[in-house]
Amino acid sequence: MSNLRLVQFFDYLTGDGLTRYRYQNYFVGQNKTYNSNSYAFAPFQSSGSLSTLTGDNETVTVLFPATEYAIRLVDASGGNRQSELTLTTLWLTAENEYSSLQFTETLIGIGSSFDDTTLELRFRTAMDSVGANFPTRTFNRDNAGILPINAELSLR
C-alpha cells in the first residue's frame, strides 16, 4: 500500500496588485520550483469545497500559524480583500517528484481573521455559477445567426 503525498502551491497576489507571495506546504525548509517560479516553505492548510451540486459559491479557507510572514500577508492586502490566489494541488510520486495529477483553482480574497495561534484567510471562487434568477435568452437568427435544424449546435 502506498502513501498519498500531496503538495500545494500557494501563489498570492495582494489586492493592490503590487506584491506576490509564493509558498508550498510539503518540502520543509526547502524552496521548490513549480512552473518556473520559486516557492518557499510555509506550513499552511487549505479546506473547504470549491463547488457543490447546487452550484453555490462556497468559502475556501487557508490556515497559517500566526507568524510574522502570515500577518504580513493580511497587512499587505488590506485584510485579504480583493486578493488573488492560485492554489495548485499536485500529487507526488514515491520519489517526491511531481506527477501529472494536479488541480488548480483561482480564488478571490473575501476577508480574514486571526487569534493568538492561527491566521485564517477566506476566499471564494473567481467564477460564480448561474442561478435560477439569471435572465434567460433564446437563440434566434438575430443573436446567433442561422441555426441548424438538428441538434448539431456548437458554441465556441
pLDDT at 129: 56
Task: Give the alpha-carbon dihedral of 131, 132, 138, 143, to 10 degrees.
Answer: -20
Q: Which pTM does this prediction carry?
A: 0.75
* Residue 10 Cα distances to 14, 52, 128, angstroms: 13, 23, 21
Which residues are CB-contacts of 72 (< 8 A; sequence separation ≥ 6)? Answer: none
pLDDT at 136: 65
* Stretch (H or E) spanning 70: helix 68-76
Q: Does the residue 66 lie in any domain?
A: yes
- Are the C-beta atoms of residues 48 and 107 closer than 8 Å to each other? no
Indicate the number of domains in the chain.
1
Spatial distance between the Cα atoms of 153 and 156, rounded to a whole number of angstroms: 10
pLDDT at 156: 57
Q: Does the residue 141 lie in any domain?
A: no
Q: Does the residue 147 lie in any domain?
A: no
pLDDT at 35: 92
Give the CATH number for residue 104: 2.30.110
Q: Does the residue 155 lie in any domain?
A: no
* Three-point CA angle 140, 143, 144, nearest 5°: 70
Q: Does the residue 1 lie in any domain?
A: no
Which residues are CB-contacts of 42 (< 8 A; sequence separation ≥ 6)? Answer: 10, 23, 24, 25, 64, 69, 70
With cell 520519489, the residue in question is 95
Domain around 28:
6-129
In tens digits, what is the pLDDT along the chain, a chain of 156 residues? Answer: 467 789 999 999 998 888 999 999 999 999 999 999 999 999 999 988 665 656 566 789 999 998 888 888 888 878 888 899 999 999 998 888 888 888 888 899 999 998 889 999 999 886 655 555 556 667 666 777 766 666 666 655
Q: Does the residue 150 lie in any domain?
A: no
Coil/strand/helix, residue 58: coil
pLDDT at 27: 95
